Structure 1
Amino acid sequence: MKILIVEDDLMMGAGLQAALNQAGFEAHWETHGMAAQALLATESFRAMVLDITLPGLDGLSLLKALRAQDSKLPVLMLTARDTTRDKVQCFDAGADDFLVKTTDMEELIARLRALIRRSGYIGRLKVGKLVLDVDTQTATQDGKWLALSNREFELLQLLMENAGQVVSRNRLEQALFGLNRAGESNVIEVHIHNLRHKLGNNSLKTVRGVGYALTDS
């Protein structure tokens, strides 16, 4: 699940990225508003954690531009400012949630998960002839419906969100079962085997000792 962090404070940004990655997200971190705006134009994210004060293009301006394009991307504003006026400005600009930088990291992660869950913002994922509609929980390949279990669907979604990249076995386990059950068995291998059989092509690659990658071939 890809999350964009836009934060110019190096210590805060690094801490956020590490905490979100540890929680099972794939956190991408930018320090400049304009760089984040360019990235949003070419890549898909499930949510954004956005600071107000940024070099070049500030957070509020970035958010307003995003909403002007009718983007429904969930945005959690994270800032040192905590006055009522600051909160009103953020919500008026289109923010979905607001937290001050003194917030405990566990609360931030919980609020971010809740924000993503409430928003329902995922839409459709497409890799080659494979289409995943997360809202309706359906998958098709070349227009034909695929019968997937819930775990297979979750696994395929994560692989499609990271199409062309190798996703580690450990990350897949954490995303499906949480930190406590990671590494307990070969359940991931079983799901990968079943998923590869249902896809019926060579698009699901095994990178030995590393993980798995989905391509559009």
Structure 2
Amino acid sequence: MAKLSTEVSTRSSRLLIHPCQRKNPLIPHIRDTPWEVSDVCPDFEVGERSCVLFLSVRYHSLHPEYIHERIGQEGMQKYNLKVLLVLIDMTNVKDILMELTQTVMRSDLTLVLSYGNSEAAKYIETYKRYEHKPPGLIMEKAETDFHKRAGECLTSVKSVNSTDSQTLLRHFGKMERVMKASKTELLACPGLGPTKATRLHTLFNKRITRKATQDIGENEEELLREYD
């Protein structure tokens, strides 16, 4: 019994790799984590309830049904964390990534993109390394102070500095009023000139579409002319 327990413990400390991934070019880059080929359902089992499915964009373009079959396997149901690790090995992948994003959202997977075999291997090793760590250890530390977060949001607008953001929040009282303010109301805020007012108003009021996002960058000077 002790021997069996030791064997189980040793196996659980290793990264388990599906036989179909044996010749994957990323395998030689897995250098810091012990691994073994095993008859597991996912491509990489990084924890008792955590796994990684690997997908090359090039392969997906040739075999679009493959990933759906892999996700739908009965053995995948035991995993709480399921990561789809996508290797970007083609250009012009926007449509494919949009499709894969929809797929992971419907299937309760986490999408991770890598741009090389070494990077993909590091992601897999990191998931294995943090197998028994609390989620908060690798989660982004969210700022809890509202005014600081609001200030960071406002200063992300070109030419709006921290003093401007503090003035805006004091003047309007809350972030919601800043976002709903007209250009005239923004201009009435002390120290805020026409350029900053226009950029803020454009950010909060222009309809967010792909074309609109492009227009904000390309036609910014045209938007400001009305104040010249």
TM-score by length of 2: 0.33
Structure number with bigger Rg: 2
Which has the larger strand fraction?
A: 1
TM-score by length of 1: 0.34
Which has the larger helix fraction?
A: 2
